Structure 1
Amino acid sequence: MTARLHLPQVTLCAVSSVNVAATIRALEISLAQVDVAAALLLTDSPVTSAHPDITVVPIAPVTSSRAYSDFILTKLVDHVATSHCLVIQWDGHVLDASRWHPDFLAYDYIGASWPQFDDGHDVGNGGFSLRSRHLMQLCRDPAFKHSHPEDVAIARINRTWLEDQAMRFAPRALADRFAAERAGDVTASFGYHGAWLMPQAVGIEPFWTLYRELDDRDTIRHDFSAILKQIRQGRGGWKRALCLMLDQLRR
């Protein structure tokens, strides 16, 4: 068995009130390859994890995406004792620990790059991101301008101010090695974020099994077409496609 990547400076964190089973699965997939100081699932759901390294931390319900942003910006740091925090979600996790680069820890914020921006403030996505505890503390500073979503608040709205506080954002090329989302390549990155990437990242059948267990399937609505195109491939694909379309119609 290949030894796990040892990252004692990192706390693995996921915050969710929905799709909690899928979130636990993302934590488990990550922990299969990475040995961290702590792995936390912060949720109001009355769940227990069979994985010995996952600690379930009770929190108040996260009732919206805006509430999620507020928690990440103002409360998550209270649960992190290490120098860095690796934030993941149900639709993003570690892909290949052999693609880890020590330079990732040299920065205060790194996430998949945003191809829609060309002003140099294009790193990046918070759904699978590595951020320093120092940066997380600064997000509670009165001078920090709170907004939603939290990754845009950090990486665009407040980036210049954060850099003035000596915070370092990873360059785009390194961010693409760290994670894939709207840009990047899941066959070459350490991790990824985005349900539309999951059929490629984990395989169509594993993704479909996971999808059928989601309690909030609206999260795939924005990328419905991309997911539909992928899951209709292979044996039984037309049945999966029909089921996916019916799910969206019901909503």
Structure 2
Amino acid sequence: MDKKEDIAKKRKSDFSRITLVSVTGLEDAQHAAYALVLSQQQMPGARALLCSPKAPEYLPPTIEHKVIAKLGYTEYSLFMMFALWHLIETEFALIIQDDGWVLDGANWRDEYFDYDYVGAPVAHGRVDTPAGTRWMSKFDWYAHLGKPDHTVYPVLNGGFSLRSKRMLRALIDHPEIKVHIPRPDILHFDPFRMYWRNCAPNEDVQLTATLRPELENAGIKYPPLDICTLFAAEDTGPMYKELDFKKLLGHHGPWRRLVSIDPPTVQYRMKRSLVKRARRELDMVQMFEDRGYSIVFTPE
């Protein structure tokens, strides 16, 4: 696709239905603002909103700022499930973070508007069988797709996700659906903290796996796995085995962080030698470089 075709395709889509929104409880929201800048460039016509305790030094006038209280990790999840809907005036919100943003607006598909939540499948998932519920990691849930009497609910990443206003209000409009957090699986003592193998307190785990059967009964629609895979990538699991990463709309990964937009620079929070060992992660690196990004790795 040449540049003119790329621009024409972006203009054809009605991005005015979307608010690009980044929520951070940290004082320094500059990198989140960078992610919104790049995302808005890729989705002309979309609104943009940054929610943070302080406005960053660089914030273009096309991005609105909303002051919020400082948030810890769990408070962030609660904010996304119970409060974000107050701030979104459009039909949909596209969640943006400094480690997840729009790569190519020309890869947008209008069929994403048919669903209430779209996000990349991640390594964790829930598998229901007549024997009960099992939570799996490392994409072990993938092997159970299509098995008789098996229902698989992969966790769909929230850090770069499209959500309808109906999804944003789901737990408000359906108070009978309760967030469920079991006791922690492990207590770490240095430092002392709680650990859940399935990341139970995380809002994307709640909304796309723990509560998904109840939310579906309430009318919330989730896309099939192939649509989620084209939408974005976090962990490059088996469903990404042959995918051309240039076809992705966006990405998310806590090890990939946008630290500059002049030039656009992705900083990996790990050494290149470790990145090399991760499935197809070097292909992601190549995709970024082909798009003009500079890549920085943790020193060996």
TM-score by length of 2: 0.66
Q: Given residue 80 of structure 2, which amino acid in structure 1 is its aligned partner?
A: I
Distance 2:264 2:47 in 1: 30
Q: 1:45 to 1:225 in 2, by over 3 A?
A: farther
Alignment coverage as a number of residue pairs: 221
Shift of 1:240: 5.4
Structure 1 CA distance, aligned partners of 2:52 and 2:22?
A: 8
Native 8 Å contact 1:7 1:34 kept in 2: yes
Following TM superposition, by how much is the alpha carbon of 1:7 offset from its aligned partner in structure 2, in angstroms?
A: 0.8
1:101-135 residue CA offsets vs partner (Å, 9 max, x unmatched) = 11111000110012423443115110100011111
Identity of aligned residues (%): 28
Cα distance in structure 1, aligned partners of 2:231 and 2:223? 10
Between 165-174 and 137-146, report the one with greater CA deviation. Answer: 137-146
Q: Give 1:206 deviation, angstroms.
A: 1.6
Q: Equivalences for 1:133-172 in 2 at 5 Å?
A: 133-140=165-172, 141-146=174-179, 147=181, 148-172=201-225
Q: Distance in 2 between matches of 1:15 and 1:139?
A: 19
Partner of 1:17: 25
RMSD: 3.0
| Number of the residue aligned with 1:82 | 90
Residue 66 of structure 2 corresponds to residue 34 of structure 1: no
- Secondary structure of the residue aligned to 1:28 is helix
Letter in 1 for 2:230: R
Residue 216 of structure 1 is matched in structure 2 by none
User: Given residue 175 of structure 2, which amino acid in structure 1 is its aligned partner?
Assistant: P
Asked whether the equivalents of residues 49 and 56 of structure 1 are also in contact (C-alpha less than 8 Å), the reply is no
More strand by share: 2
Give the corresponding residue for 2:229.
176
Letter in 2 for 1:40: L
Tell whether the 8 Å contact from 1:181 to 1:197 is kept in structure 2 after alignment: no
Corresponding residue for 1:52? 61
Q: Which residue of 2 is the match for residue 105 of structure 1?
A: 113
Deviating beyond 4 angstroms after TM superposition, the runs of 4 or more aligned structure 1 residues are 227-231
SS of residue in 1 equivalent to 2:111: helix
**In structure 1, distance between residues paired with 2:223 and 2:163:** 10
